[in-house]
Amino acid sequence: MSIFTFTEPTIALEHFKMNRSFYALVISDLRMPVINGIQLLKTVKDLNPRVRTVLMTAFDVEDKLFQEYSKKEIINGLAQKPIHLGDLLAQVSTQLHDFELQKQQPLIEIK
């Protein structure tokens, strides 16, 4: 397993585009320059619907788009900052477990 970290969302997205089939999980902050986390995770899911996604934020998310994307499983998890390392590890473990289970099922895209 490899882990990649980025401080620029556009560079992260370019890397994902070139390596989309190798990703199992993408964790994104909500507030970033150029593209916000919700937009980034939507693009990621458009490129690879099987990848699991977690949105991380220090703010309450009452956004209608966030609610819609959560319901459609475009955003699979939410990590509220400050997050304890154990909680982050649990979130990552859950998402990777769900990714493995999902690989055994046929892909059905929900638009």
Q: How far apart are the first and last CA of the chain?
A: 30
Q: Indicate whether 10 pLDDT > 80.
A: yes
Q: What pLDDT is attached to residue 21? A: 94
The domain locations on the chain are: 9-101
Residue-wise pLDDT for 13-37, tens only, equals 999 999 999 999 999 999 998 999 9
Residue-wise pLDDT for 38-80, tens only, equals 999 999 999 999 999 999 988 777 777 778 888 888 899 999 9
Q: How far apart are CA 111 and CA 98, in angstroms?
A: 20
Superfamily of segment(s) 9-101 = Response regulator (3.40.50.2300)
Residue 111's pLDDT band (cuts 50, 70, 90)? low
Q: What pLDDT is attached to residue 4? A: 95
